[in-house]
Structure 1
Amino acid sequence: MLTPNTCRSLSGRIGAMALGCVTLVSAVAALALPAVAHAQAWPNKPVKVVVNFPPGGAADQIARAITGPLQEVLGQSVVVENKGGAGGNIGGESVARSTPDGYTLLMSSGGMVSVNPFIYPKMSFDPSKDLVPVAAAARVKVFLVTKPGKLPGDIKGFIDYLKANPGKLTYGSPGNGSSPHLAGEMFQSEAKVTAVHVPYRGAAPALVDLLAGQIDFVFDPGIAMQHVQAGRLTMLAVGSMTRSPLFPNVPTLNEAGLKGFDADTVFGFYAPAGTPQDIVTRLNTEINRIIATPAFKERMLALGGDPAPMSPAQFHDKAMEDAKRFGAIIQAKKIVGD
């Protein structure tokens, strides 16, 4: 039976419980406020994009094609900083060690995750753990390009020349383990030819020396297109499974008899591990919108590449798929980083 004392006791307990609930709700709301404020505040200062290769290369050009439109939608400056060296590791590490607040990003070839751990066994950071994929940007093809006059102007004649002159030709690349270097190694293995590899600190310096006749050929990541169109260089083949719409008469190496030859790589953006998911999602959404625009598609066509919209998870899966493909040639050829 309820008595006045029992009722007063229950009333006190209920009051205490209610006060406790109010306190708990207030605490939860207080905890949620920083996250809400964070989502609303970002970005409130300039964003830096580190390109881990020198100016003029594919990564640099892709970054600059995206950062201009990106700063318009974010309402803050997006500044590109080139930090090349060690196959991209110097720039990659600088981002991996940055504060994960959305204000420092990395633009890199997919080789940062799919290649570098194979050729740099003692890396000072783990790109698969210390970086998170944000957004893919473009699938970059490579093109077998030579200087006209000295060598045969068709792929069959070029391969026959290499077979007749083993080790006498040189080819340049942006550096050991770069996708153009791996394309060169894959080409030698599948065509059963040999040439001397000359690593550079970026694709642009290699192109300069090809134009000057200091090296004999390159697997170009798209920056030589204007020179091919002007007749200063000759494109012999495409190192992908599909031809380039810019050069529809140039065969793929697969068509030339190197079955399954595919040296494509995907370039994209990464952030330091721990970057808030809402920022990653926002960046992925905005970058995917930018790369779907006609202006970006036209820019990539000029590089011989294609826009590659992906979610962060799809970008990660693509890197893991490429790691199997490139890892096999790296291990077979015992390729090591600079």
Structure 2
Amino acid sequence: MTAGATAILTSVLAGPAAHADTYPSKAIRIIAPFAAGTGPDTNAREIAGELTKLLGQTVFVDNRPGASSIIGTEAAAKAAPDGYTLYIGTTSSLSVLPHLYTRLPFDAEKDFAPVSLLGVLNTGLIAHPKVAAADGKQLIAMLRAKPDSLNTASQGVGSYSHLAGEWFGSASGTKMTFVPYNSSSPYGDLMAGQVQLMFDGLPAAAGSIRAGKLKLLAITGKARHPAFPDVPTFEEAGLPDYRPLAWQGLLAPAGTPAPILNRLSEAMQQAAKNPELAEKWRQYGGELRATTPDAFARFIADDRAMWGKVVRDARVKLD
């Protein structure tokens, strides 16, 4: 083999490792499949700010909302696997969507390389203050006595809030009337009493709950959440297997070199140690949580399987 050929072969074999040694050498884009100014967007920008400090290069958020997060997710799946385009995945985009649609322009399992979990948001049973039940156990008794007597808001058929409500109904043996809000927030109507219940992650409702404009009847988790110590868990209401979590995590296009994934995961784990950021997540009923790529891959696989059963039981299909 000639010296030139040997040099080329050596360069090819060492390419990913050498690239990882100098990574990152330019700005990193994070595709976020949700609109600017939303709660998930705020979370994405906070973590981008932390990564900017830790990686020594600008990390910025590129919002690609639309089509129930399909537009942004497809763009991320088709990006170059070089570590300079990343993606914020969620429960809805990677665990739920694959079960709602027969065909998608991406493969949620094969097109992404997990980097790290970002954080989880406990799901709450949120109610208008005039709902007579004081907790989840009393609400279940009310609904069993009077099926369909309460209207439950959702952010559209097949949305996280809708499926979390369907799961609750199946687990508790109760029936509710679901009212979908496909293009607007339901919280105004919930506070006005036009709908009485909603199942959702807590950031959007936490302030109104503390102000007494809404009340929290139950929350997911193995133990009571420190931000809402007086609120019983769903397990205390008799539903030990009801455990929906709204999560966000960082992923890269499939084929991104493992050394780069590990570098990013290490940065995420360092970012999760920021006490101010961790406290923000606690205050709205969540937990800032970073993982290794392998642990995040297992987390997504388990979550996707769990939501598959929920979607099948609810008989929801969007195509």
Indicate which of 192, 200, 212 corresponds to 1:220.
200
Q: Cα gap change, 1:200/1:94 in structure 2, threshold over 3 Å: closer, same or farther?
A: farther
Q: What amino acid is the match of 1:87?
A: S
- TM-score by structure 1 length? 0.84
Deviations 1:272-321 (A, max 9, x none): 11223222121111011101221221011022111222111111111111
Question: 1:265 & 1:230 partners in 2: Cα distance?
Answer: 23
* SS across alignment from 1:142: strand
Is residue 86 of structure 1 aligned with residue 72 of structure 2? no
Q: 1:194 to 1:88 in 2, by over 3 A?
A: same
Q: CA deviation at 1:150?
A: 4.5
| Closer, same or farther: CA 270–177 of 1 in aligned 2, 3 Å | farther
Deviation for aligned residue 1:72? 1.7
CA contact (8 A) 2:152 2:176 kept: yes
Q: 2:28 aligned with 1:47, yes or no?
A: yes
**Corresponding residue for residue 259 of structure 2:** 278
Contact (CA 8 Å) 2:201, 2:245: kept in 1 or not? Answer: no
For residue 64 of structure 1, what is the aligned residue in structure 2?
A: 45
**Alpha carbons of 1:248 and 1:76: their partners in 2 closer, same or farther (altered >3 Å)?**
same
Do the aligned partners of 1:84 and 1:201 also contact (CA within 8 Å) in 2?
A: no
Is this contact kept in 2: 1:87–1:177, CA < 8 A? no
Cα deviations by residue, 1:89-148 (Å, 9 ceiling, x for unpaired): 222111112222222221121343322211111112111111111111112210111121
Give the match for residue 186 of structure 1: 167
Q: Quote the offset at 1:77 in angstroms.
A: 2.5
Does 1:26 find its partner at 2:1? no
| d(CA) in 1 for partners of 2:178, 2:10 | 61
Distance 1:84 1:30, change over 3 A: closer
- CA separation of 1:333/1:247 partners in 2, compared to 1, >3 Å: closer, same or farther? same
- Paired with 1:264 and 1:148, the residues of 2 have a C-alpha distance of 24
Equivalent of 1:234, from 206, 215, 226? 215
Q: 1:240 offset after TM fit, Å? A: 2.9
Q: Which residue of 1 aligns with 2:122?
A: 141
In the other structure, the counterpart of 2:176 is 195
1:110 aligns with 2:91: yes
What is the match of residue 79 of structure 2?
A: 98
Structure 1 stretches of 5 or more lacking a match?
Answer: 1-19
Aligned-pair identity (%): 34
- Out of 25-34 and 273-282, give the one that drifted further: 25-34
1:162 paired to 2:143: yes
Q: Does the residue aligned with 1:298 lie in a helix, a strand or coil? A: helix
Q: Secondary structure at the match of 2:109?
A: helix
1:53 partner SS: coil
Of 51, 56, 67, 1:75 maps to 56
Q: Distance in 2 between matches of 1:70 and 1:34?
A: 24
- Does 1:211 find its partner at 2:191? yes
- Give the Cα–Cα distance (whole angstroms) in 1 for the partners of residues 67 and 233 of structure 2: 30
Residue 248 (str. 1) matches residue 245 (str. 2):
no
Per the TM alignment, residue 36 of structure 1 is displaced from its structure 2 partner at its CA by 5.9
The structure in which a higher percent of residues are helix is 1
How far 1:229 moved relative to its partner?
1.1
Change in Cα spacing, 1:337 to 1:56, as seen in structure 2 (3 Å) is farther
Q: Classify 1:176/1:285 alpha carbon distance in 2 versus 1 (closer, same or farther; 3 Å).
A: farther
Contact 2:201 2:246 in 1 (8 A): no
Letter in 2 for 1:125: F
Distance in structure 2 (CA, Å) of the matches to 1:101 and 1:200: 39
The 2-side partners of 1:72 and 1:201 are apart by 38
Q: 1:325 aligns with which of 298, 306, 315?
A: 306
Q: For structure 2, which runs of at least 5 residues remain unmatched after alignment?
A: none
| Partner secondary structure for residue 217 of structure 2 | strand
Aligned to 1:3: none
In structure 2, distance between residues paired with 1:46 and 1:199? 40
**Contact 2:235–2:242, Cα closer than 8 Å, also in 1:** yes
Give 1:200 shift. Answer: 4.0
Q: Deviations over 1:159-180 (max 9, x none)?
A: 2333344324222334444443
CA RMSD between the two structures: 2.5
TM-aligned CA distance change 1:134 to 1:178, over 3 Å = farther
Q: State the aligned residue count.
A: 318
1:176–1:279 CA distance, 2 compared to 1 (3 A): farther
Task: Give the whole-Å Cα distance in 1 for the aligned partners of 2:3 and 2:75.
Answer: 45
